[in-house]
Amino acid sequence: MATVEASGSDGKGQGVETPVTYYRLEEVAKRNSLKEIWLVIHGRVYDITRFLNEHPGGEEVLLEQAGADASESFEDVGHSLDAREMLKQYYIGDVHPNDLKPESDSKTLQWAYTLPIYSVTQQKQNIKYLKTLMCTA
């Protein structure tokens, strides 16, 4: 069952709280058929049912990940920034905090790269930060 909670600001500096829907992994796992396909990428839940026939890699690869955490597979393919931007339209909520697994250091770096990029300036700052991390690792 999904729970809705407020989560911080609206991203515009207004301090307005935006509700976030949290899903348990058990619920996500039930959405694993052609009728309804959900998957998790980096702690976020996506309903990709409408995208199934449009996926350039074919529907089979999505069906293999249906109802599960597809973060590693998503990164292994090396999706473009355009693909990451397109993914946002299928976002329906986050994995419930009690179901999140702690990330290792190598995964933390991977997560930093996949965070939404809102501007070219922010992208450049992210790249600079990642280079700093890689040089000190």
Distance CA 87, CA 116 (A): 10
Give the span between the Cα atoms of 126 and 134, in whole angstroms. 12
pLDDT by residue, tens only, the chain of 137 residues: 666 665 544 444 455 667 899 999 999 999 998 899 999 999 999 999 998 888 878 778 888 988 999 999 888 888 889 889 999 999 999 999 999 876 554 444 444 444 454 455 556 666 666 676 677 65
For domain 3-101, which architecture applies?
Roll (3.10)
CA 78 to the chain's CA centroid: 14
Domain locations in the chain as residue ranges: 3-101, 103-137
Prediction pTM value: 0.65
- CA 7 vs. chain centroid, Å, equals 16
